[in-house]
A and B are shown apart, each in its own frame.
Chain A
Amino acid sequence: MFDFLSFGKTPEMIKKRKTAFVRVQRFNPDEDEKPYIQEFEVPMTPETTVLDALQYVKTELDGSLTFRKSCRHAICGSCAMNVNGSNDLVCHRNLPESLDKTGVVTIKPLPYLPVIKDLVVDRTSFWEQYKRVKPWLVPPEDAPEKEFRVSPEEVAAINSAETCIMCGACYSSCQVIAMGKDYIGPHALLKSFLRVMDPRDTIPGERLDISGGEDGAYRCHTIFNCIDACPKNLNPTEAIETLRKLAQRRIAFEEERAERQKTLTEAAD
């Protein structure tokens, strides 16, 4: 057989190779009545990722196994799945470390979303909520010739929110989402937080009406699942808390923003 995983890898790595038992949830709505688990035996090295394993199955054993992938280094957000009961990006997840004592890893699609095929889920509601919070900045009408002045501290406050890759791991771990898709969800609330906190944004009040409102921050039960699920170690719960507090003092916050924007083109201290 073509030695896919070790092709181009070093001899020591090949020597140490063992195999893993990869259990994957399969479901093609055109053919199957309900989802079922299928097990594949996959060779591995200490560096094999769970994505490598899926890729091996697809290439060597069953080309119909379906999953999303692209960047393979945890930046595009394509490959979030449920591995051994918790959500993660399979491209940065080490396979040997994911095995139980019997050498098994179980991979399922992200929970609480309709399955399109195998590990591919339908994220329509996820993207609708993202759009609902108006993820775009609405800057002041008169742009300066150069940049708006934003201090490193102001950047630090929103920096981590900006690194969200919209993979959906948090969304699919959220108990509130499990109960209903009208909740905005941690991903979109984090985005809303990013915009609300950005000194350049001119509509924080309007944003707080949505994200601080009934379908937003108030719905969060602070169960912290999103924090545990986030493969980028972000903290949506804290952002949601901030939105909730700001919504309570919306008018004052809008005034502070208007005040801040008067000096947006002046050097920060």
Chain B
Amino acid sequence: MEGKHSIIEVKDLISVMNNTVILSDINFHVEQGEIAVIIGGSGSGKTTVLKHLLGLYHSMDQAVSVMGENPSVLEEHEQKAFYKKIGVMYQEGALLKSLTVGENVGLPLEQHTNLPPDFITEVVRLKLQMVQLENAIDKFPSQLSGGMLKRAALARAIVMDPPVLFCDEPGSGLDPVTLYALDELIINLKEQLGMTVVMVTHDVSSVLHMADRVIFLEKGVSIFQGTVKDAKYSDHANIREFFARGMGE
């Protein structure tokens, strides 16, 4: 692991909301150019971890570092610069319902650059092509199917070619063929653009297919982080079971 450097570091992260402890001990790091997959049961705190990484929830000074910064304590203009360097694909897609797919995908560009509108449209078209959605550019999110929404959300997340991409359960609700294509796309982004990817997933086949590193959460604690190979032979019964189930299929 020498030679590479950690682009994301999480140290003793805890998260308390409305008097409930949601995360009590999260520790992991992600190296540049890796695909790191966060696995864990529903309600184990995966989305909450991502929100801490994104600065949407407050984290103590040293608890979170993404590209050397803790986004939750940045000033407004620093935060804007930070967000220029990341792309996020939310669990629900989170496309803005009042905008067309094309406008959604173009929004980060419009925000962060002064590029002319016709050029932005060009970039948007390219990104939509990458996810095979070029025909949906003028449609509204309400007119898309679940799988199309996910792909549109991915197109929006990568529109600026961010060095770090976060995806919250990109595969949920997709059929296996679409899912495979989506995974391939993410692998391509990593290999061709050197993107670092942090993704949450339930899907064992996706993990086996693409993960360089897995982080296993259980009830707000990161009980394992390491390679897929190590994970398969982990001491934790739950982790072994997770992989056994997937490979038995």
- Whether A associates with B in a native complex is no
Q: Which A residues are closer than 8 A to B by beta carbons? A: none
Question: Which residues of B are interface residues toward A (Cβ below 8 A)?
Answer: none
